[in-house]
Amino acid sequence: MNPLELAPELFDRYFAFFRPAHTSGIVPARIKELARLRIAVLNGCNLCLFARYAAATLEGLDEETVAQVRRPEAERVLAPREALAVRFAERMATDFRTVDGDFMAELRKAFSDAEIAELGLMIGQYMAMGRLLVIMGGHEGACEIYVPPV
């Protein structure tokens, strides 16, 4: 049961917000896409794992880099801001209380407060949508991806 097909009008409105927020903004789409893909790994959402947003690939995101989000943190080879964004996503998804003062200070060395807010909001979106898809079984048919109208 794919929730996107059960409430198409609602999801059309959701994607009208989500797409521009994910593909543009002050945080590069490549960084947001890596955070989104790490959430997909943690959620076990195949639909999310197999989807790619063109804005990130236009910024040079390739499958070799994407593969890094499946690796343990110590083995990842990512640019510093990318690695930090992936860690931020991981902490928000697994234990948000570890996004403490020390971690926020680390984030602020690489990102402005506005960038942290944008990235945090998007990570929350990735977590919620991915988990809904997994709960309702919409993640199982990655080849049956719902594509809302543009």
pLDDT digits over 38-76, tens only? Answer: 999 998 888 788 888 888 888 989 999 999 999 988 898
Residue ranges making up the domain that contains 9 = 3-142
> For a pLDDT cut of 90, what percent of the chain falls above it?
51
- Tens of pLDDT, residues 134-147: 888 765 554 344 44
CB 42 within 8 Å of CB 94: yes
Kindly state whether residue 55 falls inside one of the protein's structural domains. yes
Q: Is 53 inside a domain boundary?
A: yes
- Considering the domain boundaries, does residue 8 fall inside one? yes
Quickly list H helices, the chain: 3-6, 8-23, 29-43, 46-50, 54-58, 63-66, 80-94, 101-110, 113-136
Does residue 133 fall inside a structural domain? yes
User: How far is it, in rounded angstroms, from Cα 136 to Cα 150?
Assistant: 24
Residue 150, domain member (yes or no): no
What pTM, to 2 d.p., does this model score? 0.85
Domain for residue 148, yes or no? no
User: Minimal CA–CA distance to 69: which of 90, 95, 47?
Assistant: 90
Which CATH number goes with the domain that contains 47?
Answer: 1.20.1290.10
In the chain, the number of structural domains is 1
